[in-house]
């Protein structure tokens, strides 16, 4: 049956065999203990039935128990675990052999077929078959072996003058041994099928449970993505109004700034330096506002830019050029990419995305004191499971567990006031979503933080 299951469902068959091995080793040790205990207790019957031979039979029973201890130990070894089917058979044959020895060696009127000890063979078959786990072939072998041993034990007395009563008893005992054997064989066969059915049910229930857990996890992830998408959609609608309200004052301010620079020539020379410095500060502030507005514009017009196969190495190189002043000679940058790795996306947005992740890493590294290691960022690209994957990992302070679930929310930031608007990662999330990809974070506080981008591998196609 297991062979048939192996051809149709190898995983199930392997699991069933592993379960059978575990159960047989466990029940085999239990059966060995029963033999160790019950065989010496039978000396009480020897005292009553075979009083002159009681000490000799006690020695045989103790020898059987000692060998049963060896069987118990064999079940704990690697050899026993490997050949669990084989080591289970002697548990029945060992006490059966010694009982047949006692029957053959008995003296007096109760010898051979006239000995009532044949009943012990029935008990051995029934008791051991209930405790251990046999299939139909193992049961048949053990029943046949014990009957043959009993016939051999009785055969020692066939050479002597025998009466009709001897053969009648032999026929009677063999009849009941055969009936017991049939019960054991049929019972073990159906018990084996019952175990298989029970295991099948548990196996299917376990598979269903795991599938349900996976579905619930996927549902939870989808729910989180829907919530995140709704947040970003709300931000997009809000951004349209913000951009409209801010752009006009920005244009007026930029025009006024240009006019004021031209007026600087009419100032006294000693005033021009301070005047120019103030204008520069104002200009940097305006540029920062323009950058924020530009980021917000991506939410209001997410699909207005074309996409193409973008070389990952080129994107990372461009992003590092933008940040060269911050990372040069300060942070160790390690890069490793798959050969000719590309991502189907908009190149400018992808550069923006990688730049943002690298900027976050650089900012985080500044907040961690380093002693035995150097600040480092590892950028790795690979192709796996139909996805083009890019990861950015730093050995900075990581992210607090309480903040991991909020880092992609718009306007959420752990930076000091004025150091960040909290739009960076939410924009990164939106860019990845537009390209059909996923972004995830893995972090351990005090040790590292790693952002992983996964994009589906796509062939060249027309731009959007």
Q: Are residues 164 and 37 in the same domain?
A: yes
Q: Is residue 463 part of a domain?
A: no
Q: For 369-434, what is the HEC assignment?
A: CCCCCCCEEEEEEEEECCEEEEEEEECCCCCCHHHHCCCCCCCCCCCCCCCCCCCHHHHHHHHHHH
pLDDT tens figures, 235-261: 556 666 667 677 777 777 778 777 777
- Chosen domain end from 213, 244, 265: 213
Give dist(CA 307, CA 269) in Å, integer.
Answer: 52
- Chosen domain end from 213, 245, 275: 213
Closest CA to 90 of 111, 69, 61, 107: 69
What is the pLDDT at residue 6?
41
In the chain, how many domains are there? Answer: 3
Contact 341, 458 (CB under 8 A): no
Q: Is residue 185 part of a domain?
A: yes
Q: Is residue 462 part of a domain?
A: no
The pTM assigned to this predicted structure is 0.44
Q: Are residues 350 and 229 in the same domain?
A: no
What angle is formed at CA 10 by the lines to CA 7 and CA 15, rounded to 5 degrees? 135
Q: Are residues 26 and 160 in the same domain?
A: yes
What is the pLDDT at residue 380?
93
Q: Are residues 221 and 336 in the same domain?
A: no
- HSE-CB of 282 using CA atoms within 13 angstroms: 15
Below-50 pLDDT ranges, the chain: 1-8, 299, 303-304, 417-423, 461-464
Q: Are residues 38 and 96 in the same domain?
A: yes
Q: Is residue 464 part of a domain?
A: no
Task: Indicate the DSSP class of residue 52.
Answer: G
Q: Is residue 290 part of a domain?
A: yes
- Chosen domain end from 300, 329, 345: 300
Domain containing 265: what range?
Answer: 214-300
Q: Are residues 341 and 448 in the same domain?
A: yes
Q: Are residues 294 and 347 in the same domain?
A: no
């Amino acid at each position: 049956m297991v062979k048939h299951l192996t051809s149709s469902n190898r995983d199930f068959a392997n699991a069933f065999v592993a379960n059978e091995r575990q159960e047989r080793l466990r029940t085999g040790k239990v059966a060995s203990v029963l033999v160790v205990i019950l065989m010496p207790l039978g000396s009480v019957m020897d005292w009553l039935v075979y009083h002159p031979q009681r000490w000799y039979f006690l020695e045989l029973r103790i020898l059987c128990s000692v060998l049963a201890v060896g069987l118990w130990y064999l079940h704990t070894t690697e050899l026993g675990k490997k050949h669990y089917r084989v080591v289970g058979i002697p548990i029945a044959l060992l006490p059966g052999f010694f009982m047949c020895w006692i029957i053959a060696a008995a003296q007096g009127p109760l010898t051979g077929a006239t000995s009532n000890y044949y009943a012990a063979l029935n008990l051995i078959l029934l008791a051991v078959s209930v405790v251990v786990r046999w299939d139909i072939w193992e049961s048949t072998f053990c029943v046949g072996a014990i009957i043959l041993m009993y016939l051999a034990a009785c055969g020692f007395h066939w050479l002597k003058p025998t009466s009709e009563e001897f053969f009648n008893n032999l026929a009677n005992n063999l009849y009941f041994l055969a009936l017991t054997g049939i019960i054991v064989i049929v019972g073990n066969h159906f018990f084996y099928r019952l175990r298989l059915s029970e295991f099948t049910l548990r196996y299917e229930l376990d598979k269903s449970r795991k599938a349900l857990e996976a579905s619930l996890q996927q549902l939870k992830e989808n729910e989180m993505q829907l919530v995140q998408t709704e947040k970003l959609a709300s931000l997009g609608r809000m951004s349209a109004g913000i951009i409209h309200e801010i752009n006009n004052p920005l244009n007026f301010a930029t025009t006024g700034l240009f006019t004021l620079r031209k007026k600087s020539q009419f100032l006294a020379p000693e005033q021009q330096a301070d005047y120019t410095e103030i204008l520069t500060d104002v200009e940097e502030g305006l540029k920062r506002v323009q950058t924020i507005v530009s980021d917000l514009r991506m939410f209001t017009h997410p699909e207005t830019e074309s996409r193409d196969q973008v070389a990952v190495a080129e994107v990372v190189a461009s992003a590092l050029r933008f940040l060269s002043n911050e990372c040069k000679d300060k942070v160790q940058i390690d890069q490793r990419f798959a050969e000719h790795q590309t991502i189907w996306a908009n190149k400018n947005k992808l550069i923006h995305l990688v730049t943002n992740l690298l900027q976050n890493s650089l900012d985080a590294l500044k907040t961690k004191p380093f002693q035995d290691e150097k600040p480092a960022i590892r950028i790795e690209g690979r192709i796996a499971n139909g996805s083009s994957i890019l990861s950015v990992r730093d050995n900075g302070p990581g992210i607090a567990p309480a903040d991991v679930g909020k880092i992609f929310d718009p306007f959420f930031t752990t930076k000091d006031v004025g150091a960040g608007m909290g739009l960076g990662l939410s924009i990164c999330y939106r860019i990845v979503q537009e390209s059909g990809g996923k972004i995830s974070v893995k972090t351990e506080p005090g040790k590292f933080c790693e952002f992983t981008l996964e994009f589906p591998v796509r062939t060249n196609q027309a731009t959007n």
